[in-house]
Amino acid sequence: MSGPVLRAEGLGYSVGERALLQGLDFGIAPGAPSFVIGPNGSGKSTLLRLLHGLLAPSQGRVVQAGIGRQAMVFQKPVLLRRSVTQNIAHALSLAGIRDAARIPAALEEVGLPHLAHRPARLLSGGEQQRVALARALALHPDILFLDEPTASLDPAATRAVEAILARAAARGMKIVMTTHDLHQARRLAGEILLLHRGRLIEQAPAETFFQSPASAEAQAFLRGDILE
């Protein structure tokens, strides 16, 4: 594959008078995971929702190329008041997928086959997030958006989720993810997009970004300074 799978063209989003994002122009290429980082309130989650199509841009547009299916995992997993299996079945049915074998496969992938028939909302936070991941993975998406998927999880659960994501990326699934955890970005990211105050400050391969950041903001952010 070549060329970007996603392109933002003059992308902006405002609520009333307040511009949350403005003038974003970038492409996201297939391959290793793209991480959107930046301080709280920089617009990471809004950008992800625009790219996924949950929000309509106020300015500009999002161009998708060659993306069949896409899925998103949220910081707080929203599971239906049903069993784990029924949760995944619901998503498959909405996508028009009849292949029930995908359910045990997805649960296997996230390491929860033993919980298949448990009420989803009574699982631990980490288990619920893995069920949410299984639900997304069962759709076999070409691109998977994740909005701070490990922000509320303990280290063990975080490690489990990261392992799942690494395997999915290795299989060729494009991952676009936000995080406020720089170490997580170092562990998983193929490229970094640094957002600050609704603008894209820097986009670079992860290695370049962490070794020799180009912008003053990126340097400050990596030092651990508070960006305002």
Partner 1 sequence: MQDLGAAFQQALGLVAAGDAGLWAIIALSLRVSLTATLIAACIGLPLGALLAVARFPGRQGLLVVLNALMGLPPVVAGLIIYILLSRSGPFGALGLLFTPAAMVIAQAVLITPILAALTRQVLEAMWEEYAEQLRSLGSGPGRAVRTLLWDGRFALLTVLLAGFGRASAEVGAVMVVGGNIEGFTRVMTTAIALETSKGDLPLALGLGIVLMAIVLGVNAAAQLLREASARWSG
**Helices assigned H by DSSP within the chain:** 44-52, 84-94, 102-109, 125-138, 155-170, 182-188, 206-211, 216-223
Using the rule CB under 8 A, is 97 a contact of partner 1?
no
Q: Closest separation between CB of residue 33 and partner 1, Å?
A: 19
User: Which residues, numbered 102-161, are part of the site for partner 1 (CB under 8 A)?
Assistant: 119-122
Q: Closest separation between CB of residue 91 and partner 1, Å?
A: 5
Q: Closest separation between CB of residue 83 and partner 1, Å?
A: 8
Length of the chain in terms of residues written? 228
Q: Closest separation between CB of residue 94 and partner 1, Å?
A: 5
Using the rule CB under 8 A, is 81 a contact of partner 1?
yes
Using the rule CB under 8 A, is 94 a contact of partner 1?
yes
Of 19, 13, 97, the residue nearest 61 (C-alpha): 13
Size of the site for partner 1 (CB under 8 A): 18
Rounded CA-CA distance 228/219 in Å is 14
Which of 3, 10, 54, 225 is close enough to bind partner 1 by CB under 8 A?
54
Q: What sign has the CA pseudo-torsion 180, 186, 192, 196? A: positive
Structure tokens at 227: 């960006």
User: Residue 223 region, left (φ>0) first, then alpha (ψ -120 to 50), else beta?
Assistant: alpha
Q: Closest separation between CB of residue 122 and partner 1, Å?
A: 5
Using the rule CB under 8 A, is 67 a contact of partner 1?
no
Choose the stretch contacting partner 1; rule: CB under 8 A; options: 3-11, 67-75, 187-195, 206-214: 67-75
Closer CB to partner 1, 77 or 213, in the complex: 77
- The strand order across the sheet containing 191-196 reads 70-73, 143-147, 174-178, 34-37, 191-196, 199-205
Distances (CA, A) of 22 to 49, 70, 186, 217: 15, 24, 27, 17
Choose the stretch contacting partner 1; rule: CB under 8 A; options: 14-22, 89-97, 163-171, 181-189: 89-97
Using the rule CB under 8 A, is 26 a contact of partner 1?
no
Closer CB to partner 1, 81 or 171, in the complex: 81
Q: Which residues contact 114 (CB under 8 A, 6 or more apart)?
A: none
User: Which residues, numbered 164-203, are part of the site for partner 1 (CB under 8 A)?
Assistant: none
- Residues forming the site for partner 1 (CB under 8 A): 49, 52, 54, 71-72, 74, 78, 80-82, 90-91, 94-95, 119-122
